[in-house]
Structure 1
Amino acid sequence: MTKRAVIIKSTVLLGLTILIYVFGFFPSSVQKYYSTGFYPYISSALRYISGIFPFAIGDIIYAVLIGFVLYKIFRFYKRRQSLKKKDRIIIPLQVFNFFLLLYIIFKIVWGLNYNRPSVSEELGIGYEKYTVKELVQLGNYFVDKTNALKLKQTKVPTYKIVDLEKTSAEAYNLMEKKNPLFRYSNPCLKAVLSPWVISKVGIEGYYAPLSGEANMNTNLPDFVKPYVSCHEIAHQLGIAYEDEANLLGYLTASNSPDLNYQYSANYEMLKYILFEIRMKAPDDYKILYDKLLPQVIADFKAEKEFWRKYNGQMFGYMDAAFDRFLKLNNQKKGIDSYQDIVIWLWNIYKPQLAVNNTQLPVKHTN
């Protein structure tokens, strides 16, 4: 390719990149023309194509792309002395064009969803922040709910990826009857190619935008898998941010007729709530933790041991970092930190908590 052709290509790609970037500053337009317009069709098509393969093709695509980039860098480094002057300009431009093209493809097949309005607005969920007392009320509610579901549970099945795909898709189909946001066609849930590697990195699952696949870490404890599968499917539906995927995953799994899905969803939300209470009201955290059934505590310990087994160094680092954070924020500093998912849970359940507003056996600070 001539130098002129490469420069023209760079100009075109850069222009498209700028247009896409500027489009992202108009969330309502992104929602109307992309997230609920063009995106559902392209994501459904990607899932249909990826579903033909019994393995995660997204992992292979990313491995090939990384290998290609490394090869080009190595080749350029080896030949740098013998390259002509024009080639020393063309090759870096070609690399630049490659990354611009990747950016454009990423934004078109999924990335523009980062610029859509918050999914909580679409679901009509408020954003009123809670007091510490209200947070503890929410924690008490989820402790009771999780305990009650655990008592009903008989045996957690050993989940295969096909079982998770089928049951999670059914749960989304039920939610679609309440809101079209949950529409999920051409289900495509895959096991990652190397659960051991993913476990070592500390990842439960991830979405592969270039292939449209939701990828699961199949090494996870079985009681965690239902919620994680619903969370990753939320990303397939164009929910980009983690807290928003948590919300959709929770609503879907908790409304499933499958008791194991309900428990998994409430167990996961309880973790987020207890984390917040532990930061803001350590005494209340201890009392609430003591209310948990031994079976629920056993699940906490099993999950903790799972991550300790695969990700010991990361586990130790995170534990130490959290202890340091608590010491730094022992008094008022940091009291205004919030997790969006906990705020949304409070806004969902505050009418119910107001009706059942009884004196809790806890000490709250305000």
Structure 2
Amino acid sequence: MATTARKRKIWLRSLVIATLAHVLLFLVVPVPAQLVETVHARGVFPALRLVLATPAAAVPFSVGEVMLGAFLLVGAGAAVQAIAWALGKARSCSLSVVFLWFAIIVTQVYLLGFAWLYRRPSLAQRMALPEVAGVAAMGEAATSTANAAAAARCEPGGLTLDQLDQLAREAIVGVLPDIAASLPAAGPKRIWPEGALMLFDVAGIFWPFSQEPHVDPGLDRLQYAFVACHELAHLAGIASEDEANFVAWLACTRSPHPFVRYAGHFGALRYFAADSPEVWKLAGESVVADMRRLQQRWQRFRSPRAARFRLVIHDAALRSQGESRGIESYDDMVRLIVRWQARGR
């Protein structure tokens, strides 16, 4: 028994050291981007994704939410037991050891299942998109996006969320050759309860520990379609938020379904409008009315305090992974759109 316990301690120490070394390697060592692309993005990540996504896709509920609940329960139990042990009311801190094992696995899976994808060459480099500079190019793209949104505008026509999930997946599959990516047999999962993410001003989230893209079902259908494509882009190996937004736009606007195409143009228009609010006037009153409806929808669920808390945490997390602009990186998708539109000129 003593020998077995000693071996467990040795294993645990070794894994802690290995995990810390992995974190330092990611944060400190400048690993060449092309090496990350060859070894990780094309080798390690697809293999790990297959192992994690296959069982998660086989069940109708979110495995990620179950995992999060288990992690929080073990963490709370470990904290209570540690306090009791410090007060002399518990004989051991066994739950703390279990929590440490959880933390090791979570850290390793996060690094291998998502974080290292930030270190690969940018999507613009991989797609050989030309550099485009100047306010004129941005203004032209914003105008064309507004006109496209106005021309494409249509109603959802009774589309269910199940149908939107399928349409989003089909749209992403359609652009996989353009982004040189693959996608497992999985679709978006819906967060329960409705509005749980929107409370924190979040529309969707990718859970790397089960390789599940999640969308809040409380979203307006117009936004739901775009967000579903965004989260599926993460599943396809696109880590950066601006790149995932760009892929969502590309996928939606190429969809054979008119409502999904409109969702793509509308989604891009919202980001162009962040810098040029006047583009809403070009899109027409019907498109503006859709935007007002989305804003009213968010007001039903969003908590300003929860949103501010999430913003600080999310911004810090993005910066730690190499997103120098943090939360503002989402807006960079408009530059990718401009570069994509310039490639044929």
Q: Same fold per TM (> 0.5)?
A: yes
| Cα displacement (A) at 1:304 | 0.8
Deviations 1:43-100 (A, max 9, x none): 1342221122111111111111011111101111122122799x68x98777555423
- Whole-angstrom CA distance in 2 between matches of 1:258 and 1:314: 38
Give % identity. Answer: 16
- Whole-angstrom CA distance in 2 between matches of 1:192 and 1:111: 22
Q: Is the 8 A contact 1:130 1:343 kept in 2?
A: no
Q: Does 1:128 align with 2:127?
A: no
Q: Over the residues paired in the alignment, what is the CA RMSD in angstroms?
A: 2.9
Q: Does 1:111 align with 2:115?
A: yes
Q: Is the 8 A contact 2:71 2:102 kept in 1?
A: no
Q: 1:317 to 1:94 in 2, by over 3 A?
A: closer
Q: Is the 8 A contact 1:168 1:230 kept in 2?
A: yes
Q: Does 1:57 align with 2:63?
A: yes
Q: TM-score with structure 2 length normalisation? A: 0.82
- The match for 1:31 is 37
Q: Does 1:300 align with 2:288?
A: no
Q: Is the 8 A contact 2:123 2:179 kept in 1?
A: no
- The match for 1:341 is 333
- Whole-angstrom CA distance in 2 between matches of 1:95 and 1:46: 21
Q: Does 1:11 align with 2:14?
A: yes
Q: Which moved more, 1:338-347 or 1:31-40?
A: 338-347
- Whole-angstrom CA distance in 2 between matches of 1:145 and 1:203: 26
Instruction: Give the letter for the 2:218 counterpart.
Output: N
Q: Is the 8 A contact 2:190 2:216 kept in 1?
A: yes
- Whole-angstrom CA distance in 2 between matches of 1:99 and 1:316: 26
Q: Is the 8 A contact 1:43 1:212 kept in 2?
A: yes
Q: Is the 8 A contact 2:118 2:239 kept in 1?
A: yes
Q: Does 1:144 align with 2:150?
A: no
Q: TM-score with structure 1 length normalisation? A: 0.78
Q: Paired residues, what number?
A: 320
Instruction: Give the letter for the 2:64 counterpart.
Output: G
Deviations 1:331-354 (A, max 9, x none): xxxxxx9842121112122467x8
What SS does the corresponding residue of 1:195 show, helix, strand or coil?
A: coil
Instruction: Give the letter for the 2:151 counterpart.
Output: A
Q: Is the 8 A contact 1:207 1:213 kept in 2?
A: yes
Q: Point out where structure 1 has 5 or more consecutive residues left out of the alignment.
A: 278-284, 319-336, 355-366
Q: 1:44 to 1:160 in 2, by over 3 A?
A: farther
Q: Is the 8 A contact 1:202 1:311 kept in 2?
A: yes
Q: Is the 8 A contact 1:126 1:344 kept in 2?
A: no
What SS does the corresponding residue of 2:121 show, helix, strand or coil?
A: coil
Deviations 1:29-49 (A, max 9, x none): 111111111212321342221
- Whole-angstrom CA distance in 2 between matches of 1:206 and 1:19: 24
**Higher gyration radius (CA):** 1
- The match for 1:329 is none
Q: 1:84 to 1:300 in 2, by over 3 A?
A: closer
| Cα displacement (A) at 1:308 | 1.5
- Whole-angstrom CA distance in 2 between matches of 1:63 and 1:55: 13
Q: Is the 8 A contact 1:44 1:186 kept in 2?
A: no
- Whole-angstrom CA distance in 1 between matches of 2:237 and 2:178: 18
Instruction: Give the letter for the 1:29 counterpart.
Output: L
Give the alignment of 1:1-366 within 5 angstroms.
2=5, 5-6=8-9, 8-19=11-22, 21-22=24-25, 25-26=30-31, 27-82=33-88, 96=100, 98-131=102-135, 133-150=136-153, 153=154, 155-181=155-181, 183-277=182-276, 285-286=277-278, 288-311=279-302, 313=304, 339-350=331-342
Instruction: Give the letter for the 2:156 counterpart.
Output: V
